[in-house]
């Protein structure tokens, strides 16, 4: 029997092993891709085909954009999309800024309150204050029915702060010490040395924050009464959970598509921004996660 080819000192997998891996990979890929394809296909499928299929369609027989015309003509989805973009953009920027400042402070060895602040962050990860106390705080600070209520209460994540702290501690001390000798302030060290070296972990943490803000609907359900300030996910929940009659009345299109088509179209619109952003951050993702989580 001929010996297997060695790859990195180990025997290369044979044809049966490669076949099994290929089948498993194909099954997992199909499990991820088929739901997305079904959602998009149903949103553009003709009304008759949706009715014949009794709901979801995998391969549309034509292209019908009535659902997209309907949801964008009334302004409900457009307004909600603008709200979500604002909350996600501003919230992610503020969260990154505050989290980086906090993580950098507790990563510095000479910071006297480093351990007490770190203990507070860890306690915040383990124990949640609950819905009612947070609601009372939001109410007392005058944030009810304000878009800032969707940003400020969830601005800092303890987990993300710990990941950033671990990464900042991995930066060689020689860099910061030499900058201190040259007369650089802490802010200059933070902004000119630490931040440029942290692009990978910042991309990962920024993606975590952005996805959290974009997908959040429960905060809006608690704090926002004005329907004109609803984010995209709360509008989507209204169409999926409730009877779409109210949503269709708000849309006001002459020829209304089926409820299922409307739901799938709104779902597609809610997924597109994250799907567009992720490829630009994907190359930093694995590096940022490993660098922020492993010290050696």
Q: Is residue 256 scored above 50 in pLDDT?
A: yes
Which whole number is the average pLDDT over 200-211? 88
Domain architecture of the chain: domains with CATH:
6-64 (no CATH), 70-293 (1.10.3720.10)
According to the model, what pLDDT value does residue 292 have?
A: 45
By C-alpha distance, which of 129, 201, 203 is closest to 163? Answer: 201
Q: What's the pLDDT band for 296 if we cut at 50, 70, 90?
A: very low
For 104-132, the DSSP string reads: HHHH-TT-TTHHHHHHHHHHHHH----HH
Averaged pLDDT, 206-231: 89
What is the C-alpha to C-alpha distance for residues 87 and 255, in angstroms, rounded to an integer?
A: 32
pLDDT digits (tens, 9 = 90+) for 121-160: 888 888 888 888 889 999 999 888 899 999 999 899 889 9
Q: Mean pLDDT check: name the lowest of 53-62, 89-98, 111-120, 204-213.
A: 53-62
Does residue 99 contact residue 82 with C-beta atoms inside 8 Å? no
pLDDT at position 3: 47
Task: Please give the pLDDT value at position 1.
Answer: 42
* In the chain, % of residues over pLDDT 90: 14
Mean pLDDT of the chain: 80
Residue 86 has pLDDT above 90, yes or no: yes
In sequence order, what are the residues at sequence separation of 6 or more whose Cβ sits closer than 8 angstroms to the Cβ of residue 128? none
Express as a percent the part of the chain with pLDDT over 70: 84
Task: Give the per-residue pLDDT at 100.
Answer: 93
Look at 89 and 179; give whichever has higher pLDDT. 89
Residue 294 has pLDDT above 60, yes or no: no
As a whole number of angstroms, the distance between CA 265 and CA 71 comes to 8
CA distances from 112 to 115, 162, 185, 211 (A): 8, 18, 17, 34
Residue 218 confidence (pLDDT) above 80: yes
Beta bridge partners of 7: 10
User: 5-49: per-residue pLDDT in tens?
Assistant: 544 555 566 777 888 888 898 999 888 888 888 888 888 888 778
Collapse the DSSP code of 6 into the 3-class scheme (helix H, G, I; strand E, B; otherwise coil) and give the result: strand
Mean pLDDT, to the nearest integer, of 64-87? 83
Nearest in space to 78 (alpha carbons), one of 242, 222, 187, 235: 235
- Per-residue pLDDT, averaged over 260-287, amounts to 75
Range in 68-77, 158-167, 177-186 with the lowest mean pLDDT: 68-77
């Amino acid at each position: 029997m001929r010996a297997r080819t060695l790859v990195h000192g180990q025997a290369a997998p044979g044809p049966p092993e490669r076949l099994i891996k290929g089948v498993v990979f194909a099954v997992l890929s199909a499990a991820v891709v088929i739901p997305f394809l079904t959602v998009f296909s149903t949103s553009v499928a003709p009304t008759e085909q949706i009715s014949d299929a009794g709901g979801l369609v995998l391969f549309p027989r034509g292209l019908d954009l009535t659902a997209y015309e309907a949801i964008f003509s009334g302004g409900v989805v457009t307004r909600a999309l603008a709200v979500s973009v604002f909350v996600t953009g501003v919230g992610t920027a503020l969260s990154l800024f505050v989290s980086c400042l906090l993580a950098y402070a507790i990563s510095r060895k000479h910071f006297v309150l480093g351990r007490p602040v770190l203990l507070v962050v860890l306690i915040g990860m383990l124990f949640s204050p609950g819905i009612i106390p947070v609601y009372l705080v939001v109410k007392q600070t005058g944030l009810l029915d304000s878009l800032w209520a969707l940003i400020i209460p969830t601005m800092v994540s303890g987990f993300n702060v710990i990941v950033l702290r671990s990464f900042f501690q991995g930066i060689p001390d020689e860099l910061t010490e030499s900058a201190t000798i040259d007369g650089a302030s802490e802010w200059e060290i933070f902004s000119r040395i630490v931040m440029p070296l942290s692009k990978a972990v910042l991309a990962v943490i920024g993606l975590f924050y952005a996805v959290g803000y974009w997908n959040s609907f429960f905060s809006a359900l608690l704090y926002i009464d004005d329907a004109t300030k609803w984010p995209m996910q709360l509008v989507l929940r209204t169409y999926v959970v409730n009877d779409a009659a109210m949503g269709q009345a708000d849309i006001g299109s002459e020829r209304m598509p089926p409820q299922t088509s409307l739901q799938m179209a709104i779902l597609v619109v809610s997924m597109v921004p994250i799907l567009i952003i992720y490829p630009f951050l994907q190359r930093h993702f694995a590096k940022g996660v490993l660098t922020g989580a492993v010290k050696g």
